[in-house]
Structure 1
Amino acid sequence: MEVLEAIKTRRSIRKYQERDVPDELLQRVLEAGMCGPSAVDQRPWHFLVVRDKEMLRKIPKVHPYGAMVKDAPVAIIVCCDTRLERFPGFWVQDCSIASQNILLAAHSLGLGAVWTGVYPLEDRVEGIRKLFGIPDHVIPFSVIPIGYPAEDPGKRDLFDPDRIHHEKW
């Protein structure tokens, strides 16, 4: 899929077919996550891949908007390792780019995914951290369930020329 088409047609997918995501496709999605730019190339991310159905079913208990995760064949938890951070605070942007790359790569490969935010809400951070045994120096940032779409939310045109300013506001 051409990159502009992927950007314009990607939608949040919350319903998935009962079908596994092959390791090869998941590997490509993870590679895309690591291809994003980061502040001074610090690459503070780690990716926790969850396929265990019992663990996927537990995520909605600690994430109030994560109900769809239990039905996905796999989820990626994007995390920041604060020990890798050289410029404090920029990890949020770095992990945002990684999360977006994961969403776009999944879409381009015929998969569906949705970003469910964890950080900065402390109850979600601690819930995910405790559930998966994530060490204190690692901050869970987002949970991205991935699978073959069982829904088609249709296309949207989000372009709004009123939000563009030239030279001055």
Structure 2
Amino acid sequence: MTVDIFDAIFNRRSIRKFTEQDVDREKIIKILDAGRWAPSGLNNQPWRFLVVKDEQRKAKLAECTRYGHIVRQANTLIVVFLAKDAMYNATKDYQGAGACIQNMLLAAHGLGLGAVWLGEILNQETQVHEVLNTDPEQLELMAVIAMGYPAQEGSSSRKDLSQLLLEEF
């Protein structure tokens, strides 16, 4: 299934409840590929990914966030890091990580999956590194994407564009 880009942008929603259906490896690879094709300053591509499907690791990660119920229920987690040795400008690299994550969220939507960007877990970065056995000297946690087949409809609203424009054009 393919989705028109504007349809994906305007209709993708954060999904926080999932069915028990397994997300197959091919879909996960497509989502990771969408992330790696995000723009980055100097094309440095500083993002690194860790895919977590193991129930025991998910349970331990769930203890690292107040949104543990989402982490436990998701079929697949994609943990997104920045490789510190690949970074050249923190602001640009953080922006690139955001673009990478958004690409993956849109790809998940396009593949019929639901996903949510979990950022609160950043407050427990030390714990996350301990659970995943990753090196905080080498990797900076950016987000955890929880995903699976949606068991709910998402909803959202946006401010009117006129409220966001600094001046009329």
| TM > 0.5 | yes
Letter of the structure 1 residue corresponding to residue 115 of structure 2: A
Matches of 2:167 and 2:106, distance apart in 1: 28
Matches of 2:37 and 2:121, distance apart in 1: 21
**Pair 1:146 & 2:147 matched:** yes
Letter of the structure 1 residue corresponding to residue 140 of structure 2: I
- Residue 137 of structure 1: CA displacement? 1.2
Q: Tell me if structure 2 keeps the 8 A contact 1:119–1:141.
A: no
Matches of 1:88 and 1:126, distance apart in 2: 20
Matches of 2:9 and 2:157, distance apart in 1: 11
Give the secondary-structure state (helix, strand or coil) at the position aligned to 1:115: strand
- Residue 119 of structure 1: CA displacement? 7.3
Cα distance, 1:118–1:42 mapped onto 2, change above 3 Å: farther
* Unmatched runs of 5 consecutive residues or more in structure 1: none
- Residue 20 of structure 1: CA displacement? 0.5
Letter of the structure 2 residue corresponding to residue 153 of structure 1: G
1:43-122 aligned within 5 A: 43-117=45-119, 121=123
Q: Tell me if structure 2 keeps the 8 A contact 1:60–1:66.
A: yes
Q: Tell me if structure 2 keeps the 8 A contact 1:118–1:125.
A: no
**Pair 1:164 & 2:154 matched:** no
Q: 1:10 matched to which residue of 2? A: 12
Q: What do you get for the CA RMSD once the two structures are aligned?
A: 1.7
Letter of the structure 1 residue corresponding to residue 16 of structure 2: R
- Residue 162 of structure 1: CA displacement? 1.9
Letter of the structure 2 residue corresponding to residue 49 of structure 1: V
TM-score by length of 2: 0.90
Give the secondary-structure state (helix, strand or coil) at the position aligned to 2:67: coil
Q: Tell me if structure 2 keeps the 8 A contact 1:129–1:139.
A: no
* Unmatched runs of 5 consecutive residues or more in structure 2: none
- Residue 152 of structure 1: CA displacement? 0.8
- Residue 118 of structure 1: CA displacement? 5.2
User: Which is further off, 92-101 or 62-71?
Assistant: 62-71
Q: Percent identity?
A: 33
Aligned residues: 165
Matches of 2:159 and 2:10, distance apart in 1: 9
